[in-house]
Amino acid sequence: MNEQTVKIVDIKKLTSRIKSFRLVSANGKKLAPFSPGSHVAVEITLEKKVRRNSYSLCSSPYETDFYEIAVLLAEKSRGGSQYLHQISVGTELNIGFPKNSFTLASLARKHILIAGGIGITPLLSMLTTLSRYQTTFELHYTAKSQTECAFYEFLKQKYGSQVTFYFSEKDERLSSNKILKEQPLGTHIYLCAPHSLSDNFYAEARALGYPDLAIHREIFGAAKTNNKKPFTVVLSQSGKEITVPKDKTLLAALETAGFPVNYSCRVGGCGACELGVLAGEIHHLDSYYSPEERAKQNCILSCTSRAKSKQLIIDL
């Protein structure tokens, strides 16, 4: 069993579109401990279809009796966040075990955390640890306004001058150059923000000479691409051919055709849905592989990536 059963014991409305949920174990088993930056997959059943949405654990890793997650009601919700926003205290949920693809660098001498909106969630558990170890850190947090800024009072009270807020309604903007320049050796950056902001900080950091491994990113949404073309895949073991329409992912197309593939985040960040590719040109849209791995053209993350050629032969 790869799950934990939890019960919601508290729901708080943090902003007009963000709610936080406190979860405790529902079956007497202890909750699994987690490292800062971790997330859990929450199982949501809608119209008989089971989906799993991942949410960062924003509670303290040192609190072993409960988890806290915060959920943004997405504008174009596929149903997951909508569902969570209308359930009540007492509801039981099945969740996975904590996973972490956004860890703190233990040898860093300084940590700079950048949060955009709901991106604050994984950084909250990191802050608890950084503060406990008395490491040097700064948090830069952008939101629409103070009332739309989740955890504003908590952060201001607990971390004081180590947090800087930027409210876009007041035209306060983050300057990546100003924040990243002239930082000491051993500085690491942690980005959890919308693509444009995250990409901007990444580019500025590289331009300033930050080594690639000092820049850590957590991506909440899949990479956007305007040019989605349909393509076909041939399953090498059976010879079966499946069409992937332009509005469906390879993963979804395989699932519909009766070929369930392992998956987790479904946004190209974790690698669980990886499939081997034997022929064809892959259009990588993930945020998981290294440039070298992409160049090998022999594997694909089926939840996000597509094909440049008309057909791919996959190892299935």
The secondary structure of 224-248 as a DSSP string is P-S----EEEEETTT--EEEE-TTS
Q: In angstroms, what is the minimal distance from the CB of 295 to another protein?
A: 19
Three-class secondary structure of residue 96 per DSSP: coil
Beta strands 231-235; 241-244: pairing state? antiparallel
Per-residue 3-state assignment (H helix, E strand, C coil) for 243-287: EECCCCCHHHHHHHCCCCCCCCCCCCCCCCCEEEEEECCEECCCC
For 32-91, strand residue ranges (E) read 39-46, 49-56, 67-72
Considering the complex, state which of residue 227 and residue 290 has its C-beta at the smaller distance from another protein. 290
Which stretch in 95-103, 105-113, 282-290, 305-313 sits in contact with another protein by CB under 8 A? 105-113
Q: Tell me the CB-side half-sphere exposure of residue 95, using CA atoms within 13 A.
A: 29
User: Is residue 214 a contact residue for another protein (CB under 8 A)?
Assistant: yes
Q: 76, 45, 71: which is closest to 58 by C-alpha?
A: 71
Identified binder of another protein from the candidate list 49, 65, 185, 196, rule CB under 8 A = 185
Stretch that binds another protein, among 183-191, 262-270, 279-287, 294-302 (CB under 8 A): 183-191
**Site membership for another protein, residue 203 (CB under 8 A):** no
1 part of the interface to another protein, by CB under 8 A: no
Q: Which of 53, 59, 121, 183 binds another protein (CB under 8 A)?
A: 183
Among 28, 211, 239, 260, binds another protein (CB under 8 A): 211
Choose between 215 and 303: whose C-beta lies nearer to another protein: 215
Contacts with another protein by CB under 8 A lie at 107-109, 181-187, 206, 208-214
